[in-house]
Amino acid sequence: MDQDLTILSPEKTILTYRLAGLGSRVTAHILDLLIVIVMFYGLSLLALLVGLVTDAFVSTGLSLFLAFALPFGYFILFEGLWNGQTLGKRVLRIRVRMADGTPITFVSALGRNLMRPADMLPGPYFVGLLAIFTNPRSQRLGDLIASTVVCYEKRADAIYMAAPHGVGIHPLESQVGDLRGMTREEYYALRRFCDRFPELSAETQNRFIRDLWQPIAERRKVPALPNVHPIYLAEATVMKYGRDKGLL
């Protein structure tokens, strides 16, 4: 079942992802279920203690809520907030992505996991497994609804990581200046470049640094720093502009 997913990125670069096989997905899911079970019993014990000091109905209500919410919440929160990985997926080095190769969105993580009950009809994951075997992208029903795929982690040759656009302050933001006159088009182009950087070949990385980053840096007067790779300055530029314009 292992196969490649080939995507033409908006930068007209061909990206290839190896779709995760059934064995890896099942093993990761079993690990996640074990973690959910341990979490459920731990939280149920806490609910029992709460019931002892309040009311038995409170304990029962909390336990019922956990039994329903925890399995969904675990997968939704981890995949939506941890870039497509649960603890089990991280161990197996697989990740959920959007079908176009971009990082999974929280809405898609919500959709693919709320569809798990449908994947399990009429028996344990019968519909989900049938969909995986008959779909060229190995997508279960939840993946089809959310437009997601499960891929193996791609080992990048470069050590650079995409900028954490949503949180924090980049340590080089103070070096990029006020970015006066920078446009939204430049921002979105740089952001896509930073997101894609670890997955691009060294030749393509250098080409985009030359043709995309350096012209923007010259126009916005972002200085080159000794012993600092340009991708870090590009990330800092994206972070600073995004925060200043309320785009993070």
pLDDT digits (tens, 9 = 90+) for 51-62: 666 666 667 777
Question: What pLDDT does residue 159 have?
Answer: 47
Question: What pLDDT does residue 197 have?
Answer: 87
pLDDT class for 129, splitting at 50, 70, 90?
confident
**Burial (0-12, 13-18, 19+ Cβ within 10 Å), 19:** buried
CA angle (194, 195, 200) in 5-degree steps:
85
pLDDT exceeds 80 at position 120: yes
> Which DSSP letter does residue 26 get?
H
One-letter identity of residue 131: A
Question: What pLDDT does residue 28 have?
Answer: 94
Check residues 129 and 185 and name the one with the higher pLDDT: 185
Could you tell me the pTM of the whole model? Answer: 0.59
Long-range contacts formed by 1-9: CB under 8 A, 24+ apart: 1/132, 1/133, 1/138, 3/136, 3/138, 5/101, 5/137, 5/149, 5/151, 7/100, 7/101, 9/101, 9/192, 9/196
One-letter identity of residue 118: A
Question: What pLDDT does residue 158 have?
Answer: 45
